[in-house]
């Protein structure tokens, strides 16, 4: 299964999104929160994101979903810290963090490949609530 990493400037936000998305996950689905700084403050930490990617890796790829633009920069730096083999199996989604994480988790849980999980997460931009 494709692993999912949720990156937010807030640890509570990342954990909450993982908690919610986890309600729809299949057993064994890797869903890792990488929010905030190591001291508990607001921000994103490339080392924390790198560790989350490594923890989420099952060999089928890892999708990273981020909250704000600067989280993309931290995620990109985290990719640079990975070994080349794993780096090739990671994608950063341009998706709404909550809807994208839930949609991606469902797609990953049914065994879809990384390209499909990425497309589903990014397709969540078009979901309407009414």
Q: Which residues are the active-site residues?
A: 9
- Spatial CB neighbours of 58, under 8 Å, sequence gap ≥ 6: 1, 2, 3, 30
DSSP state of 26: P
User: Distance between CA atoms of 82 and 87, rounded to whole angstroms?
Assistant: 6
Work out the widest C-alpha separation in the chain, in whole angstroms. Answer: 44
Judge contact between 69 and 41, C-beta under 8 A.
no
């Amino acid at each position: 299964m494709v692993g999912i990493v949720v990156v937010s400037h807030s640890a509570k936000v990342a954990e909450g999104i993982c908690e919610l998305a986890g309600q729809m996950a299949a057993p064994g689905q890797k869903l890792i929160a990488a929010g905030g700084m190591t001291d508990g403050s607001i921000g994103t930490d490339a080392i924390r994101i790198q560790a989350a990617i490594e923890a989420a890796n099952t060999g089928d790829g890892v999708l990273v979903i981020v909250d704000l633009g600067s989280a993309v920069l931290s995620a990109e730096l985290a990719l640079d810290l990975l070994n080349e083999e794993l780096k090739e199996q990671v994608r950063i989604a341009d998706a709404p963090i909550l809807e994208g994480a839930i949609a991606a988790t469902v797609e990953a849980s049914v065994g879809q490949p990384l390209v499909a999980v990425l497309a589903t997460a990014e397709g969540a931009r078009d979901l309407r609530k009414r």
